[in-house]
Structure 1
């Protein structure tokens, strides 16, 4: 049995909310600044949504970026401090809400897109989110997920689902114990989409021109 659990992820992010906000707002995560931020924005805008839900919104940068493009956006996150920091910017709406508590009954509206940008790192919580999100989408709406590319981050380890140690390496700042994360193969990600009633999962691989490898994996499944 693994020593890790989804609760440890929440504990780590609660402890590191401030340093994470600083890292994002100071542009210290190079891959995001050069590639993946624009990649997820483009993936959302290509579907021409009127409204979007950012699940696991962190300090709110994506909500603000979508609002600037004319998309009404709501951000949710389990960490109160991150929601407070996001709300303080004055653009977009934010709520404290965990994946475990996510329910369509808690929303007055439905969304043309639900976006999870590097925010699905747990096990049971992610499975539950996939099961609940369909009821939050408009007809033809999409669940859009950007994550670490499984083939790239697997390295020399076995290419099988399982918990992995986390790391803040390369970000800098006053971080404490990193959150563990649950590794999924590409096939496992696709299975989450198909088993929850989405159409065939569209795959996008934002590409780094520096090292000639995918910078991330973007998956899009339509209701």
Structure 2
């Protein structure tokens, strides 16, 4: 099976255990660092409206909607969108990245957030290229993802597909989805191809290890 298709298949199968893992606070890096890091990056832009791409079970959309921000959560997995909708605050739609990149959303926002939701190769490049249709003038894109230095492990430091893992997420999971590893230079190439300008980079450290828990990019469409 194509790796991009495998990502979606695995997430369809993993919607229920993932929702439990998030809502029960099982993932230590989220508790210690990354949830607060993405919230800080959003607040730095003071948006009135947000599109949460790859919203999952909707925790970020709910948190922002609870602060009076107009939030649209978007995910390709119907079970995750159902879980998000059932939990309350925010608006939600089922749509895959190909449709979003093609302009299918028909909505713009001050800020688009991709919080650990950019896992593919060509699908991510297409989505980044579609950002001008999603952002209001002067708007920004915030991406939080695995830090290339911390996530590289023992494998060679080069762009390419990697095997996934549910380690640290608790029980109930089956097969893990593959994901496309990008070096820092690889991310920069993707941004240039999409015509996006890098405005800021943050590397929040894990207080227990001192290593970067993630990397956050803030980008805009020039002009």
1:136 counterpart (134, 137, 142):
134
How far apart in 2 are the matches of 1:108 and 1:11?
A: 26
- Number of residue pairs matched? 221
Establish whether residue 18 from structure 1 lines up as the match of residue 22 from structure 2: no
| Residue 81 (structure 2) pairs with residue 83 (structure 1) | yes
Aligned counterpart in structure 2 of residue 217 of structure 1, from 204, 207, 215: 215
Cα distance in 1 for partners of 2:176, 2:93 equals 24
Deviation at 1:111, TM superposition (A): 0.7
Report the RMSD for the aligned CA atoms in angstroms. 1.3
Gaps of 5+ in 1: none
Does structure 1 residue 158 correspond to structure 2 residue 150?
A: no
Matched, 1:200 2:198: yes
CA contact (8 A) 1:193 1:201 kept: no
Instruction: Provide the rounded CA distance (Å) in 2 between the counterparts of 1:105 and 1:178.
Output: 30
TM superposition score normalised by structure 2: 0.95
1:106-185 counterparts in 2 under 5 A? 106-185=104-183
Task: For 1:94 and 1:109, locate their aligned partners in 2 and report how far apart those are by CA, in whole Å.
Answer: 12
Q: Which runs of 4+ in 1 moved over 2 A?
A: 103-109
TM-score between both structures, scaled by the size of structure 1: 0.95
Distance 2:11 2:36 in 1: 24
Q: Which runs of 5+ in 2 are unaligned?
A: none
Task: Single out whichever of 186-195 and 105-114 deviates more from structure 2.
Answer: 105-114
SS at structure 1 position matched to 2:131: helix
How far the C-alpha of 1:195 sits from its partner, in A, is 2.2
Indicate if the aligned counterparts of 2:32 and 2:207 stay in contact, CA closer than 8 A: no
